[in-house]
Amino acid sequence: MNKAFYILGLAILVLVYSSANYALTLKIATIAPAGTNWMKEMKKGAEDIKIKTSNRVKIKFYPGGVMGNDQSVHRKIRINQLQGGAFSSSGLSTIDTNIQILSMPMLFKSFEEVDYVRKEMDERIKRHVAKNGFVLLGISEGGFARIMSNKIINSIQDIRDSKVWIPEGDDLVYETFKTMGISPIPLPLADVFTGLQTGLIETIASTSTGAIAFQWHTKLTNMVDIPVLYVIGTLAVSQEAFNKIKADDQKIVIEEMNKVFAVLDKVNRQDNINATAALKTQGINVIQPTEKEVQIWQDFSDQSIQNMIKNGMIDKPLMDEIQKLLVEFRK
């Protein structure tokens, strides 16, 4: 009898240890405020993951930028204080610059082109980032960014003559502006409103939803109605942390997050379309450059992409595949 109890106790200990060994809480930082559609969908996905893994995998979000800027989040991931973060493409570019390959200047002309390319490229981009120690749980659409300014912008020269903001640490956007002969002013996202308020910066590239969410539109009077780049957001966790999750549970996490990001893509697209319409009806001056001027912008953009390939900033085979898909679609 004693032997039977001993074996039973040992079995229980093994089960408890096994369960603890596979249980994991992924702590993820985001600048998205609590209560936003992004956070609502993320929390719903986290709850579904918790239920379907029988509490073996939990996700805890730290919203509103309480964990600091991208550099702080990356540092906390390295010391395992966090296991992941929601990043813009530039926020993850220190890990792999190719995360920005969908955000090359003037690459896409329409949402239909975006959908055609992303259907083939999202998984390839995820595999590329995985080689650099991160698992991309999702890529979400931010929308098309447009040039906005408190100055009239009809030409490249008008942009050169203004004080242009770029996100701090965004080497690819810097390369684009450098090719265009523009000397930009790098600032963290949190400092853009103050920069516009004080006159430190006068011109930005932003999605309409971003401009409204951060109240930047209150300091801007003009919008150039041309999509200059496609903005994405990502949810990334360290490969080291993800590998601690049991293989079957990893599949559940990926499946549930795929569902979340499919919803977010639709919601974000509609939000951005609505926000652009709202800006136009609320009095912002909408500028339509001439076809000749747009072609000049396109030529500079194409040249900057070639410079990035030449400098090893983006992967040529990945870029070639995107260009091939665009040629197919445009035919």
pLDDT in tens, the chain (331 residues): 455 444 444 444 443 444 444 568 999 999 888 888 888 999 999 999 999 999 999 999 999 889 988 889 999 999 999 999 998 888 888 888 889 999 999 999 999 999 999 999 999 999 989 999 999 999 999 999 999 999 999 999 999 999 999 988 888 889 999 999 999 999 988 899 999 999 999 999 999 998 998 899 999 999 999 999 999 999 999 999 999 999 999 999 999 999 999 999 999 999 999 999 999 898 899 999 999 999 999 999 999 999 999 999 999 999 999 999 999 999 8
- Cβ-Cβ contacts under 8 Å for 181 (sequence gap 6 or more): 156, 160
Domain assignments of the chain as residue spans, ordered by start: 2-330
Q: Return the CATH class of domain 2-330.
A: alpha beta
State the pLDDT at residue 32. 81
Is 147 in contact with 153 (CB distance < 8 Å)?
yes
CA dist., res. 73 & res. 51, Å (int): 27
State the pLDDT at residue 327. 96
The pTM of the full predicted model, rounded to 2 decimals, is 0.85
Q: Which of 5, 56, 152, 109 is nearest to 330 (CA)?
A: 109
CB atoms within 10 A of CB 330: 10
Q: Which two three-digit tokens encode residue 143? A: 């929308």
State the pLDDT at residue 3. 53
DSSP string, 20-38: HHH-EEEEEE-SSPTTSHH
Is 193 in contact with 216 (CB distance < 8 Å)?
yes
State the pLDDT at residue 305. 95
Within 13 Å of residue 40, how many CA atoms lie on the same side as its CB?
7
Is 143 in contact with 268 (CB distance < 8 Å)?
yes
Is 166 in contact with 177 (CB distance < 8 Å)?
yes
- Cβ-Cβ contacts under 8 Å for 86 (sequence gap 6 or more): 28, 29, 30, 31, 32, 38, 42, 233, 234, 235
What's the angle, vertex CA 245, arms to CA 41 and CA 136, rounded to 5? 50
Residue 69: C-alpha distances to residues 60, 91, 204, 259 (Å): 18, 9, 19, 27
Q: Which of 106, 105, 103, 110 is nearest to 329 (CA)?
A: 110
CA dist., res. 272 & res. 288, Å (int): 19
